[in-house]
Structure 1
Amino acid sequence: MSEKAVVIYSGGMDSFTILHRAHRDGFELYPLTFDYGQKHKKEIAYAQAVCAELNLPHRIIDITAINQLLQSSSLTSDKTIPEGHYAADNMKSTVVPNRNMILLSLAIGYAVDIGASKVFYGAHSGDHAIYPDCRPEFVHAMNAVAQIANYDPVEIVTPYLSGDKISILREGLAMGLDYSKTWTCYNGREKACGKCGSCVERLEAFTLNKAIDPLIYEPVA
C-alpha cells in the first residue's frame, strides 16, 4: 500500500510541481486547497482542474472567516497589490500574517485524521526575503512541533526549501509539466498582470530557463 501524504496545493507553480513530484514518487495523495479570502482566488479553480485530471481526492476548505483578522495584507484587503520584484521592500504588503502556520496546522490535523505521515509544502528560497513563514528556521520549527503535537507524528516535507523558482521550474519542465495549468498572479483578473511580484518572479524563471510562459498576460501599457 502506498504511503499517504497531504499536499498543500494552492494552484500555483511551486505546489503544482511538488504535487506532480509526489505523485510521480508513488504517494497516495490528498491535496488540500484553502480559500482564505485571497484576491487571487482564481488559483483555486486551477488547483481543482488539475486534481480532477489526476483523479485525486481534492479538498477545498473555506476559511474565509479569518480574512477579517488579516486586513493588513494587500492580498486579503482592499489595498492595492504592489508591483515589482520580491526583493523590493514594498512587496512586504503581500505578507498575510501567520498564513503558513495556519495552513500547515490545518494540513497536519488533516494528515493525522486520515493516517497520512507527510505534509508536502512548497516553500522555496525565493520567498525567504519577504515571507518569514517560508524561511528554513520557521519550517524546521514547525516540523519539530508536528512531531509532538499529536499521538501520530507528521513530517513536513519541503524539497525546494533551499532552491528557487528557477530550479523548481527547471525540474517541472524536465518532468514535462504543462504550466498553463497554474495561476501565479496576485491579481485575480482574467489575464495575469505581469507586474506583481509573483508574475515578475514567474516570468524571470521562464526567461532563465529559456522557456516560454504559456500563460496569457495583459498587454503592457
Structure 2
Amino acid sequence: MTQRAVVIFSGGMDSFTVINKANKEGFELFALSFDYGQRHRKELDYASRVCAELSIPHKVVDISAINSLIGGSSLTDDMDVAEGHYADDNMKNTVVPNRNMILLSMAVGYAVSLKADKVFYGAHSGDHAIYPDCRPEFVHKMNDVCAIANYEPVEIACPYLNVSKIDILADGLKMGLDYSKTWTCYNGREKACGKCGACNERLEAFAENGAEDPLEYEA
C-alpha cells in the first residue's frame, strides 16, 4: 500500500523541491498551502499550478484572521521588508510569530484525517539563524509532540533540515526541476525584487551551483 503524506507547500524553492522529491519517492501526496495574509501571496498561485501539473490534490486554507492575534512581521504588516542577507540581524522583521507551529499543527490534523503518517516541510539550515521554528531543536520537539498528540502518531519530515538552500537547489537540479515554477521574493510584485533576504539567498544558491535563475528581477 502506498504511504500517504501531507506536504506543506508554499510555492517557494524549498517546498517545491521537497514535494517533487517526495513525489519521486512514491508517496501519495496531499499538498496544503496557507494564506496567512502574506504580502507575497502570489506564491500560492505558483503552488496551485505545480500541484495541477503533478496531479496532487491541493488545498489552500485562508488563515489570515490570525493576523488579529499575531503581528510585527514585515510579511504581514504595513512595514517595509528588510533588505540584505539572512545573516543580517534586520531580517528578524520577517519573522511571523509562531507561524510554523501553527501551520504544522493544522497539517498534522489534516494528516490524521487522511490516515497519513507523515508531514513534509522545507526547513533548512539557511533559516536557522533568523527563524527559531526552522531549527533542528524545534523540529525534534514537534516530532515528540506529534507522536502523542493524536491516537495516530505523525512524523514531521524535513529532508533538508541540516543542509543549505545551495544544497537543496543542487538536489533539485539533479532531478531536472524547473525553478521558473517557484516564487521566492517576499515582495509580491510582478518581478522579484532581488534585494530581500529570500531573493539574496535564492540568487546565491543559483550562483554557487553555476546555474541561471529563470525568474525575472527588478534589479
Same fold by TM-score greater than 0.5: yes
Task: Give the ranges of 4+ consecutive aligned residues of structure 1 lying more than 4 Å apart after TM superposition.
Answer: none
1:67, 1:185 → 2: CA distance? 21
State whether residues 70 and 76 of structure 1, in contact with CA within 8 Å, keep that contact through their aligned partners in structure 2: no
Name the structure 2 match of 1:137.
Answer: 137
Shift of 1:70: 2.1
Residue type of the partner of 1:14? D
Shift of 1:195: 0.2
Name the structure 1 match of 2:179.
Answer: 179
Name the structure 2 match of 1:29.
Answer: 29
Residue type of the partner of 2:191? K
2:138, 2:88 → 1: CA distance? 22
Name the structure 2 match of 1:96.
Answer: 96
SS in 1 for 2:138: helix
1:41-190 to structure 2, matched below 5 A, reads: 41-190=41-190
Name the structure 2 match of 1:6.
Answer: 6
- Would you say 1:195 and 2:195 are equivalent positions? yes
TM-superposition CA deviations, 1:32-61 (whole Å, max 9, x none):
000000000010000000001111110000
The unaligned stretches of length 5 or more in structure 1 are none
2:169, 2:101 → 1: CA distance? 25
1:214, 1:22 → 2: CA distance? 23
Residue type of the partner of 1:202? R
TM-score in terms of structure 2 length: 0.99
1:210, 1:69 → 2: CA distance? 43
1:211, 1:150 → 2: CA distance? 44
TM-superposition CA deviations, 1:66-93 (whole Å, max 9, x none):
0122221010100100100000000000
Q: Give the percent of matched residue pairs that are identical in Structure 1 and Structure 2.
A: 70
SS in 2 for 1:37: coil
The unaligned stretches of length 5 or more in structure 2 are none
Name the structure 1 match of 2:207.
Answer: 207
SS in 1 for 2:212: coil
2:111, 2:20 → 1: CA distance? 19
Aligned length: 219
Residue type of the partner of 1:211? A
Residue type of the partner of 1:23? N
Query: What is the root-mean-square deviation of aligned Cα atoms in Å?
Result: 0.5
SS in 2 for 1:83: coil
SS in 1 for 2:147: helix
